[in-house]
Chains A and B, each alone.
Chain A
Amino acid sequence: MSRQVFAYIIHKNGKPDDTALEFVTTARKLDPNAEVIGVVVGSGADLDAAAGEAAKSYTSVWKIDNAALAYPLADGVRKALVSVLPQNAVILIPHEHFGLDLAPGLAVKLDSPYLPDVVDFAGLNGDTLTAIRQEFSGMVSTHVACDIAAGAVITVRPGAFAPDESTAAAGTITDKSGDVGDVAVGRRYLETLVAEVGDVDITKSEILVSVGRGIEDQDNLEIVHDLAKAMGADVSCSRPIVDAKWLEKSRQVGTSGQTVSPKVYLACGISGSFQHMGGIKGAPFIVAINKNPKAPIFQVADVGIVADILEFLPELTEAIGEAK
């Protein structure tokens, strides 16, 4: 019997998110001979719509409909999955805010090895799976290996695998709701507070001068504003600047902030974590200025400059001023 690989499909308003198509590729790379099954959890019409969409990409879709999971809280979803999945299930879960809630505990309850934030696979030898992940903010990578004969819980970095756009699976949807027992948990969803819109909407900006930890001090932000003014750009930033409360949250680029799609993105003193890069869409021209030549941002930028932004930015501002 071939191995079963399950793909947990996150969906909203009846639509699977981008990782649903990516996981078709991920599962094939993990084990080309596996039977791949999409799993959708939720309730009602939204769930049915999501299952229908998933069946365009997955030949087999398991649907778990439970009114208590209409808003899928991880502890409840975990209980549902534990009662439905075979003990030796290999399951892929997106490494984002929901996956981080769900996956570690699921690995404990299934008594399976846990592979977090996987960016690629490097081979399956019998039942020994070798995966690639990153440590130290993406500065180094590692190969990790584990035996998946008794199952595995694997969170996969969103965007790490190319989406499989072929939607001709015409899959079968199997209703597994009856196998689910009590999903009551000690956590209750109250509401979602939507982010406040700031004075500048960076999602609409054509040119962004974006600042990160390399700015070192709040007082130094002036050189960033000066450069932005000279370029006719808006100022955005990476997470540490918002954590320090030097700029408002609405200016943060990244998966936990805003998704921007400018023409030009000037990354100043930003290391380039995947969470930050995940907030940049539409393939802008990226210029990275960072004093650390090993900063991951140089892997994804179009043009790189190794320099201390505290010295470089004022000179650039001045040169732009003189050229006008």
Chain B
Amino acid sequence: MEILVCVKRVPDTSENEIQVNGKGTDIERDDLVYSVNEWDNYAVEEAIQIRDRVGGTVTVVTVGDDESEEVLRREMAMGADNGILLSDPAFENADGRGIATILKTAVEKGRYDLILTGAQADDGAGQVGGMLAAMLDVPYASLVNVIEVLDDKKIKVGREIAGGNQEMNEMTLPCVLSIQTGINEPRYVGIRGIRKVASVEIPTMGARDLGLDPAAVAPKVKRLDYFVPDMGEGAEMLTGSTEEIIEKLMELLKAKGGIKS
């Protein structure tokens, strides 16, 4: 099975405090730690496991600048066979639809049976996979948390729906799936793994290589600013020494029935 996984380099929200810059034009990016989008990492792991079961290759692709190459390399250290970097100044302000349009042209340069994306990334939109599927006119399922290959034309997928329930579907290939966290346990990538792929050639393709008119990726939706929402009342913050905080907290908990004797 030929599998393509679309990944993105994002600021790691568990490692960083995200702050808006003084003018509200962007977040403060200077000291941010970047890594691969968490959901994408699960998608790559799933692709590797499928390949190891049924054969084939795993290709990872991203739209980004030179620094995004490190993310591709990291996923190749996990076990992906190939990487493709889609990079062009014309791609810089692309919105979700623009990214899907760019990816579509890359998909059409290969022959993929299965295309995976993360269920969402740093902007929380969850849009690229569904758009890509519609552009390719292939089936799509989001929030996938189990994949079983039935034969070379069909797979069975489970989706995470409300209340911890799982919706089971049969889908024909090729198709696009967006992968939910928890579908597997992504393997650890050590320094040695990264070193092994440090010198592997990763092809870069721009708008011209893809035969893409830059106007086709002009954004329809524009982000005007970043801001921190008015917190309103918010929580009553308990301050003081740990002893003082615990004393206040225990009073409150007792009053609200939070400590059973």
Contact = CB atoms under 8 A, between A and B. Distances in A.
Chain B facing A: main interface SS:
mixed
Interface in B167-209: 167-172, 175, 178, 181-182, 185
B254 to A, nearest CB: 9
A164 interface: no
Contacts of B89: none
Interface centre among B138, B141, B249 (most CB of A within 10 A): B249
B169 A146 contact: no
A171 interface: no
Given A97-B162, A114-B127, A108 B134 contact: yes
A204 interface: no
Interface stretch (A43-51, A61-69, A83-91, A258-266): A258-266
Interface centre among B133, B164, B247, B259 (most CB of A within 10 A): B164
Given A116-B127, A145-B222, A231 B259 contact: yes
Contact of A323 (B100, B123, B124, B250): B250
Contacts of A255: 162
B64 interface: no
Interface in B218-255: 220-229, 231-232, 234-238, 242, 245-247, 249-250, 252-253
A226 interface: no
B129 interface: yes
Interface string B120-148: 00111111111101110011111100000
Nearest to A265: B258
B252 A287 contact: yes
B256 interface: yes
A287 B251 CA distance: 13
B213 to A, nearest CB: 16
Given A105-B134, A303-B238, A256 B172 contact: no
Interface in A280-309: 285-288, 292, 294, 298-307
A292 to B, nearest CB: 6
Chain A facing B: main interface SS:
mixed
B83 interface: no
B124 A135 contact: yes
- Counting contact residues on chain A (CB < 8 A from B), the size range is 35 or more
Contact of B235 (A97, A259, A301, A312): A301
Interface string A88-129: 000000001110111111111100011111000000000000
A169 interface: no
A301 B162 CA distance: 24
Interface string A138-182: 111111111100000000000000000000000000000000000
Interface centre among A105, A142, A252 (most CB of B within 10 A): A105
Contacts of B125: 116-117
Nearest to A243: B182
Given A134-B124, A140-B27, A264-B256, 16 more contacts: A100-B143, A105-B140, A108-B135, A114-B127, A116-B96, A136-B122, A139-B18, A141-B227, A141-B229, A192-B168, A239-B181, A243-B181, A256-B163, A258-B163, A301-B235, A311-B242
The 10 nearest A-B residue pairs measured at CB: A232-B260, A104-B130, A195-B164, A105-B134, A304-B235, A264-B258, A243-B182, A108-B134, A186-B172, A186-B139
